[in-house]
Amino acid sequence: MTSARKEKWSDLAIHGGEPAFPDFLHVGRPNVGDRTRFLERIDDALDRRWLSNNGPYVQQLEERLAQLCGVRHCVAVANGTLALALAAAVTSQQGVVPNPKVLLPSLTFIATAHAFHWLGIEPVFLDIDPETLTLSPDRVREHLQRYGASEVMGICGVHLFGEVGGAAALEDVAEAAQAPLLFDASHALTNAFVGERGLRRVGQFGAMEAFSLHATKFVGCGEGGAVVTNDQEAAEALRQLRNFGYASDGLVKQAGMNAKMSELAAAMGLSMLEQVDRFIASNRANYEAYREHLQPLPGIRLRPQDCDHSNCQYVVIEVDPQQAGLHRDALVGVLRAERVLARPYFSPPCHQTPPYQRQPQGPLPVTEHFAQRLLALPTGETINDSHIEMIAHILKLATIRAAKAA
Ligand code: T4K
């Protein structure tokens, strides 16, 4: 339900009008899979009295995720941050580098950087490509040419907002420098890219790809994550690391940790995976509705999506403060007053946060440009066309008056 249509600028809630929505609209509101199947699985797990430690649901989830990505191995873990950290640890072990560094973008969720930092791997933030919002292959090449690849334990690309277009070019640069390449694929489960090598699904890029299966993700387990790879040895090392370093013979082979996924989380993931077609259909319909309703708005540009090959989980607009007449952060305030919790993902970018801001770093103009302008809008099954029409209408009322006044 939305409240009566707002006719003019002064009807906006930020100026004292009635909020447009009775309840808050969230970015990241979880979709819900098949409830009956989920509860049946929970019952089964309780009857079996097997709740963790590589149980049957975890194994089924791993099989299905590997199949979905078209890769040989999947290792499910407790969350996406640990998925990245374990992938980083395995990569570090494969080629021991003193004082290791990782090249990665700053425009990402903070966990991408933390996962490496916790292992004593220093994040080196490089700028992104404005088209794909992914680590710029040119900046990576320049860095490797200037400083050499010897200090770098790897490169970590991020398929930001599910965008996969920049992944193949990063592979070329990494291959030329013989630097291991990982991807943070947290936003991109089921996505694909059609390029020179035909259609490649996310999961098949680089040496390993890490997913978050957090509640807010396209497929969520509440908390969960997974690493996929075609490398048998890496998969075995990941399995050991997530289970205190135990190998299949029951002996501890390395200093692992506890990163295991529980059966309850896997039961949820399986019930979500059974519904991915439904989730994709509703996300795509919402994306198309935003495209239609936002079209005539000056200063507001919807980030493009290849809807045929994307889960469309993120609807992100770019706000040009000159043309729109107000800054992205002012729009966040306007929307919040209407009970629309739009999120300025990812602002501040990692390199401007306390853990990383003192590190030596080069200029990141493209990152900083987009960190000031991007705004994620609510989507998912709790959002429908009338919500989207109203959100677009609010943006219109806020920007048209501001643009005239500017
Ligand atoms: N790499 C990338 C690129 C990532 O985006 C993430 C996670 C990771 C790595 C790390 O993966 P995990 O270790 O988390 O598996 C949220 C999520 O907490 C985080 O998982 C996610 N990225 C990030 C993009 O978004 P916040 O701090 O922005 O928001 P949060 O968790 O408070 O929730 C967002 C909105 O969702 C809120 O408005 C409320 C709503 N919500 C949330 C939950 C948990 C619900 O409606 N229901 C819920 O159950 O981080």
The per-residue pLDDT for range 326-342, each reduced to its tens digit, is 999 999 999 999 999 99
Measured in Å, residue 211 CA sits from the centre of ligand 1 at 13
Average pLDDT over every residue of 68-90: 98
Question: Would you state the pLDDT for residue 328?
Answer: 98
Asked whether the beta carbons of 186 and 82 are under 8 A apart, the reply is no
pLDDT at site 9: 86
Which residues lie below 8 Å from residue 186, measured CB to CB, with a gap of 6+? Answer: 80, 109, 158, 159, 210, 211, 212, 214, 217
Task: Say whether pLDDT at 404 is over 80.
Answer: no
Mutate to test the pocket of ligand 1, among 102, 214, 223, 383 (most ligand atoms within 8 A of CB): 214
Cis peptide before 346 (omega within 30 of 0): yes
- Please tell me the predicted confidence (pLDDT) of residue 405: 61
Is omega for the bond preceding 344 within 30 degrees of 0, making it cis? Answer: no
With a pLDDT cut of 70, the percent of the chain lying above it is 98
Q: What is the CA radius of gyration of the chain?
A: 22
E strands, 343-400, are: 374-377
In angstroms, what is the span from residue 27 Cα to ligand 1's centroid? Answer: 9
Check pocket membership of 215 for ligand 1, CB cut-off 6 A: yes
Give residue-wise pLDDT tens across range 179-206. 999 999 999 999 999 988 899 999 999 9
Tokens of 278: 């439904």
Mean pLDDT over residues 305-329, rounded? Answer: 96
User: Is the distance from CB of 390 to CB of 399 less than 8 angstroms?
Assistant: no
Q: Does 79 contact ligand 1 (Cβ within 6 A)?
A: yes
CA of residue 214 to ligand 1 center, whole Å: 7
Q: Do 289 and 385 form a contact (C-beta atoms < 8 A)? A: yes
Ligand 1, atom 17: nearest CA belongs to which residue?
A: 216
> Of ligand 1's atoms, which has the minimum distance to the CA of residue 24?
38
pLDDT of residue 403: 58
Q: Give the pLDDT score at 361.
A: 82
| Ligand 1 proximity of 143 Cβ (cutoff 6 Å) | no
Q: What token pair was written down for 379?
A: 């989507």
Closest Cα to atom 33 of ligand 1: 28
Task: Specify the pairing of strand 198-201 against strand 192-195.
Answer: antiparallel
pLDDT at 3: 59
Query: What kind and span of H or E run contains 26?
Result: strand 25-26
Is residue 406's pLDDT more than 60?
A: no
Q: What confidence score (pLDDT) does residue 4 get? A: 67
Residue 243 has pLDDT above 80, yes or no: yes
Average pLDDT over residues 369-373: 98
Question: Ligand 1 centre and the CA of 257: distance in Å?
Answer: 23
Question: Which ligand 1 atom is the nearest neighbour of the CA of 214?
Answer: 15
- In this prediction, residues 36-65 reach a mean pLDDT of 97
Summarize the confidence of residues 231-240 as an average pLDDT: 98
Name which residue sits closest to atom 27 of ligand 1, judged by CA: 109
Region 231-257: mean pLDDT is 97
Find out whether the beta carbon of 324 lies less than 6 Å from any atom of ligand 1.
no
Question: Does ligand 1 come within 6 angstroms of the Cβ of 28?
Answer: yes
| Separation of alpha carbons 135 and 129, rounded Å | 6
The mean pLDDT value for 228-247 works out to 98
Ligand 1 atom nearest to 28, measured from its CA:
36
Q: Which atom of ligand 1 is nearest to the CA of 108?
A: 3
C-alpha angle 28/128/153, rounded to 5°? Answer: 95
Given a cut of 90, whether residue 151 has pLDDT beyond it is no
Q: At what angle do helices 80-94 and 110-117 cross, to 10 degrees?
A: 40
* Contact in structure between 320 and 299 (CB atoms under 8 Å): yes
Report which protein residue has its CA nearest ligand 1's atom 5: 109
Query: If you count DSSP H runs as helices and E runs as strands, how many of each does the chain have, helices first?
Result: 13, 14
Q: Tell me the C-alpha distance between 168 and 192, whole Å.
A: 11
Work out the pLDDT band at 149, boundaries 50, 70, 90: confident
Per-residue pLDDT, averaged over 167-187, amounts to 96
SS3 298: coil
Is the CB of residue 179 less than 8 Å from the CB of residue 154? yes
Residue carrying the six token digits 């903070």: 110
pTM above 0.85, yes or no: yes
Q: Mean pLDDT for the chain? A: 95
For residue 43, what pLDDT band results from cuts at 50, 70 and 90? very high
Query: Which of 7-16, 166-175, 233-242, 315-324 shows the lowest per-residue confidence on average (mean pLDDT)?
Result: 7-16
Q: Is the CB of 81 under 6 A from ligand 1?
A: yes
Task: Say yes or no: CB of residue 282 within 6 Å of ligand 1.
Answer: no
Per DSSP, the residues of 316-332 read: EEEE-HHHHSS-HHHHH
Distance 341 CA to ligand 1 centre (A): 13
